[in-house]
Structure 1
Amino acid sequence: MTALLSPPRPEVATKRPPRKKIPVHWFYLAPALILLITFTYVPVGNMVWYSFHKWDGLSPAMDPVGWDNYVRVFTDERYWRVFLISLYYFVASFAQIAIALYFAVILSFSTRFRNLFKGILFFPYLLNGVAVGFVFLYLFQPGGTLDSVLRLAGLGEHARLWLGDPDVANIALAGTSVWRFTGLSFVLFLGAIQSIPGEIYEAADLDGANRWHQFRYIIAPGIRRIISLSFILAISGSLAVFEIPFIMTGGANGTRTFVIQAYETAFQFRQIGLASSMAVVLLLLVLLITWIQRRLVPDDEVSLS
């Protein structure tokens, strides 16, 4: 009996699952993400790790201390009292925003020599912070430029030690910060104002609206996001002031800010762990204030229609 042989079956080609392609946009984002993680998130993580240790920055061994560094920051008057110096810069930041908004509104309309004034207002922000500090150091020194101007104006009796008197030193330094950073706020406001469609202004002119009405009902609502951003930058900047007081006074005469205190703690007294905890507290404080502000002033969609 012969066995019936079934005809050979044709080989069925096995289909491999398609390979998942990496989205192209990740290749463009990878360099930026690598730089961001390497130079931002990794240092922040190291800073948090250092804040729970006692370390001088040189020895290979670090002694864990738990929350002792944070307890010291909040209980030692030398570390939390310097936060009060930030109030000078906080108040000055409101003056900076008001000045920048005033000139941005004026120069957004047709004004003679407005391009020249734009350059004059923005120029201080282009200068290096060290250069600004030295320029104003000569301005405020005894017998310097400011005292000479006061004598020429017949107000020589008002001359004083502008950087040596604790009652006026922080005011002088805060005024220097206003001069330097007004240009940044000015450019932000001016760009936001110029993004508002011109047809809205034309309709307001036909309705008989004056400049104040245009600012109140068109400009202010239209740049609300930029105003909110400026307040966030003002608050964080007032808490993290470093360049101007460090260059001009070195923190002397009651001008030591929280960042200068952290800098001296780290590099002068070699207490890296304590300085790291101060930096973490400053970071959390800025984030908390920003969150509160965003809750109080939500970022709603702006509509001028």
Structure 2
Amino acid sequence: MFNPLSYKTQKWIIVIGFLLVPMTLLCTFTFYPAVKLVYLSFTDWDGISPDKKLIGWSNYAEVFDNPKIFGVFLHQIPYFLVGVVQNMFALLFAVLLNGKLKGRNFFRVLLFLPFIMNGVAVAFMFQFVFDTTNGSLNALLDAIGLDGWKMSWLGNKDIVNYSLASVGFWRFMGYNMVIYIGALQAIPGDMYEAATIDGASGVQQFWYLTLPHLTKIIELNMFLTISGALSVFDLPFVLTAGGPAGASTTFVFKTVETAFQFNNYGLASAMSVVLLLITVVILGIQSKVINRKGE
């Protein structure tokens, strides 16, 4: 049977047919909401009224001028600092468990297990750990003779964010470790054999051989760490509700509060756009720094 369509035309029809559904979903659930978010950031929409009055850059000016909004980024510094330490420990455990350690698979599973647990369940579990009166952490300190260290871990505004960040350390360290292990297994073993023959110590092999091969993976894990530190929400929401006195309020927490509690969707949209831009800038700087050191 004669087909009037050329091979090239048929090929384009097939390509467009396969791309039509995913591109439609991508535009519907990604591109359109993103454009709508930027548009709403220039309005005073309350989330209910059909009227959306354009107010220019007022919302963005409010984000940067109001210390109660932009200042909450300071509360997320502990998450970043703990995240950096978390990556160091993840790399350390990855190196140890990538060797010929007896029971290494058991320890891999043990360290990875917290990551697959539900975030809200983890938060509720640590609510009992940090409880001032009957918490297991204070009970442990009391049992080992460090009762002077007992405190209100979630009620002290100076340490509450470090307490919350430590939960993330426990939960995500195993995940980062698994990524590092995968990268370590991709390094040819004969390179280490040659380095050993040349008299390189274990520390020298790690510094001059292992780390240069992990540059891209370190960049990936730091990307996850920084983006996670900037978008923390579930832990302070469940454990402290932003307290005490707003000391653990994060930027995403403030954005949700602005939208759903104060019905200021225009300002909340501007806050979301600002968060996206700050994340892109920070990750761009991080990429340049890590790549420069890798070279």
Establish whether TM, by shorter chain, passes 0.5.
Answer: yes
Moved more, 116-125 or 210-219: 210-219
The answer to whether the 8 Å contact 1:189/1:226 transfers is: yes
Aligned pair count reads 288
Partner residue, 1:260: 253
Partner residue, 1:6: none
Partner residue, 1:193: 184
Alpha carbons of 1:260 and 1:219: their partners in 2 closer, same or farther (altered >3 Å)?
same
Residues in 2 aligned to 1:105 and 1:191: alpha-carbon distance in whole angstroms: 11
Matches within 5 A, 1:266-285: 266-285=259-278
Partner of 1:167: helix, strand, or coil? Answer: coil
Partner of 1:57: helix, strand, or coil? Answer: coil
Which stretches in structure 2 are left out of the alignment for 5+ residues? none
Partner residue, 1:7: none
Residues in 1 aligned to 2:19 and 2:285: alpha-carbon distance in whole angstroms: 31
2:212 to 204, 221, 234: 221
The answer to whether the 8 Å contact 2:215/2:294 transfers is: no
1:71 matched to 2:47:
no
Residues in 2 aligned to 1:52 and 1:265: alpha-carbon distance in whole angstroms: 15
More helix by share: 2
**1:218-241 CA-partner distances (Å, limit 9, x unpaired):** 211111101112222222221111
Partner residue, 2:91: 101
1:43 matched to 2:29:
no
Residues in 1 aligned to 2:17 and 2:192: alpha-carbon distance in whole angstroms: 44
Partner amino acid, structure 2, of 1:206 = I
Partner residue, 2:105: 115
How far the C-alpha of 1:272 sits from its partner, in A, is: 0.5
Partner amino acid, structure 1, of 2:207 = R
Residues in 2 aligned to 1:30 and 1:100: alpha-carbon distance in whole angstroms: 42
How far the C-alpha of 1:185 sits from its partner, in A, is: 1.1
Matches within 5 A, 1:161-180: 161-180=152-171
Partner amino acid, structure 2, of 1:138 = F
**TM norm structure 2:** 0.91
Partner amino acid, structure 2, of 1:103 = F
Residues in 2 aligned to 1:96 and 1:300: alpha-carbon distance in whole angstroms: 20
Q: Spell out structure 1 runs of 4+ moving beyond 4 A.
A: 15-19, 23-31, 299-302
